[in-house]
Structure 1
């Protein structure tokens, strides 16, 4: 099958390679001319035979919306666009309605698999009309993992359902990662445990907590046994927030996701204003000691070379006076 693919980054580039290896005719476009098969969107469309199929794999938000709007002016009635990025599901119906005015069909597709998808295949979650999904099935079959279709692909429902399913998938991912992270820190903190990496490796076969994420944790510990030198600063790409917003809107309790997401927010703070307030209040109502910067046990221990935190934690930098409040994000 012939298809245009816009966005040839870490995901899109690997998807192009996998599709080509399966025998599909893929015309790729990227702003980087060194990896692009077309000079611009108009050139890409001109290289495709009608009825055309174009897969958009660019960052969510304005980049995706702008790309789809531009394509709407270039494509013909009967052509189809797939949004395979991490768009918010609420964007999908708006895009579908806009494209319908041009006679262009639309399918949203959540894609999971990361940089490993080229070899292992991608988990695919689609939303849209049955006829449009069936039309694209040769592409979906080439991208998904080998084996039964239902174990790597789902037509989740109407327009928006694919990205909604991917959003929930990512929310689950947040919780799973955080559970492994908590287990890692507890194992590192206990002096009788001598082989933390070995514990995770032993869990990877035959246990109820085995998963691909666990395999990746083992790989990370192979490369950096105590994760030394790795900053705790952790960003989020939005799907966790969207999932939590939906949970609130639908009155679905999701405490695991909320905890995991808020932990990422905490990771970006040099000092926690919340905990500063708690320390101040304890001093006010109970006369408890209110420590000043530099007096904390872990800072004193760091100066003496005796950490009182998890052995996995980097010693805090005490070279300068700490500044209250959260660090500013650079993104």
Structure 2
């Protein structure tokens, strides 16, 4: 029997990708280094046809030429191990697709290692979680275009659809696909933290119940804030704990985890001089949340502001929160897409920003209503410096910036930490300021280190004997 594609790695994501392919008419071979996951998958089939293999060599031999192998294993050494095992079994023109959360620089290294063998290597960003993998994720493939064209019929079939179009497009050479997925996750960090801060303000500053906030999020999800993360947050707030009867969110320990992609996003931005303060602040918020015991000990020691007994008008301030959240979201996406643009220029990738926004519209975690507007902004001006200056977003921020200021100021006065709201406002105000305070920094640098400076009234480089 000749299989059209093979999947290696049958954890949650891998098995669902395999089932997705089978559901879309592919003849799928499956293999896992340990037999148990293969057997578990075969026992749970519901009318699908998957062909199990227990030896890697027979798995590879079962594939139609050029062979197409989709690996979905843990990023890092596990991925390297699978690739090294495959090299002697593949031939020139065969294709390996890495669908894991690999660091894009690892993808570029693997691409270079496989190129002398004539084996195609595609770093395929996949977003959508367990459900998306099964029903249709957003897919971000990078590598050589001719190898992508070989597998595009399969990838576009299994991808999510938005307005009848597959949420899958060729991203660019080498590690571009995994880079786009990495920054996607950075945006996701910021988006999640902004939503958490909106919840914090509604609950703490407006004294709303969890049920009332769930109602608000459901209402917001019917308007311009419509997104997957807003939708699931409303559902989360509805969930009751079976043990205590309390809202489940109230018994979940406030220590956030992370798997590294947000950190990679921030580090890459820092290395290349790209301002991603909101994304990085979201990462730091997770790190600070991990200091649970220290925070408990600090609470009775560290003073906060005096409690404000003046109540806020709930309807008015709920709208302020909504507008602040939308504006924070704009700023976070502006930073993410700036990171795409600047990195694309550094690496000569020619990332299709318009199309990237379109493939995020469905299947992925950051899918949101306003991605259509982002795509239109880049369609109108492909070299747009920053989303903030696109007419639609410039108009929105002009109308919503006061609400963001209100929320940040009230948070400061009440002692409520709103790191991503605050960072969004600082980014917005910094970006709209033509004359910054960096002249002081340059003067200081020249004073203590003779680092020199430029003048705004003449050409050249200068140094002063201070």
2:236 counterpart of 1:234: no
- Is contact 1:189-1:309 (8 Å) kept? no
2:124 maps to 109
2:106 maps to 91
How far does the alpha carbon of each residue in 1:125-164 deviate from its partner, in whole angstroms, 9 at most, with x for none? 1111111111101111122112457661121110100000
- C-alpha distance in structure 1 between counterparts of 2:189 and 2:162, whole Å: 27
**RMSD between superposed Cα atoms in Å:** 2.5
- Displacement of 1:187 in angstroms is 1.1
Provide closer, same or farther for how the CA distance between residues 133 and 8 of structure 1 changes in structure 2, counting only shifts above 3 A.
same
Runs of 4+ in structure 1 displaced over 3 angstroms?
147-151, 292-298
1:197 maps to 214
1:214 maps to 230
2:56 counterpart of 1:41: yes
Larger relative contact order, structure 1 or 2 (CA cutoff 8 Å, min sep 6): 2
- C-alpha distance in structure 2 between counterparts of 1:4 and 1:119, whole Å: 16
- C-alpha distance in structure 1 between counterparts of 2:94 and 2:134, whole Å: 29
How far does the alpha carbon of each residue in 1:238-279 deviate from its partner, in whole angstroms, 9 at most, with x for none? 11111111111221111111111011111111344xx89xxx
- C-alpha distance in structure 1 between counterparts of 2:256 and 2:299, whole Å: 25
Question: Which is richer in helix?
Answer: 2
- Displacement of 1:43 in angstroms is 2.6
- C-alpha distance in structure 1 between counterparts of 2:174 and 2:165, whole Å: 19
- C-alpha distance in structure 2 between counterparts of 1:250 and 1:297, whole Å: 37
2:239 maps to 223
- C-alpha distance in structure 1 between counterparts of 2:197 and 2:233, whole Å: 12
- Displacement of 1:294 in angstroms is 8.8
Of stretches 126-135 and 99-108 in structure 1, the one that deviates more from structure 2 is 99-108
User: What is the SS of the residue equivalent to 1:99?
Assistant: helix
- Displacement of 1:50 in angstroms is 2.3
User: What is the SS of the residue equivalent to 2:231?
Assistant: helix
- Displacement of 1:193 in angstroms is 2.6
1:68 maps to 83
* Matched pairs, number: 283
- Displacement of 1:102 in angstroms is 2.1
2:9 maps to 7
Q: Structure 1 length normalisation: TM-score?
A: 0.79
User: What is the SS of the residue equivalent to 2:249?
Assistant: coil
2:388 maps to none
1:305 maps to none
- C-alpha distance in structure 1 between counterparts of 2:119 and 2:298, whole Å: 61
User: What is the SS of the residue equivalent to 1:243?
Assistant: helix
- C-alpha distance in structure 1 between counterparts of 2:221 and 2:134, whole Å: 20
Provide closer, same or farther for how the CA distance between residues 12 and 294 of structure 1 changes in structure 2, counting only shifts above 3 A.
closer
How far does the alpha carbon of each residue in 1:81-137 deviate from its partner, in whole angstroms, 9 at most, with x for none? 001110000011211122122221111110001122145411011111111111101
- C-alpha distance in structure 2 between counterparts of 1:51 and 1:235, whole Å: 40
- Is contact 1:141-1:149 (8 Å) kept? no
- C-alpha distance in structure 2 between counterparts of 1:295 and 1:148, whole Å: 54
- Displacement of 1:191 in angstroms is 5.0
Q: Structure 2 length normalisation: TM-score?
A: 0.57
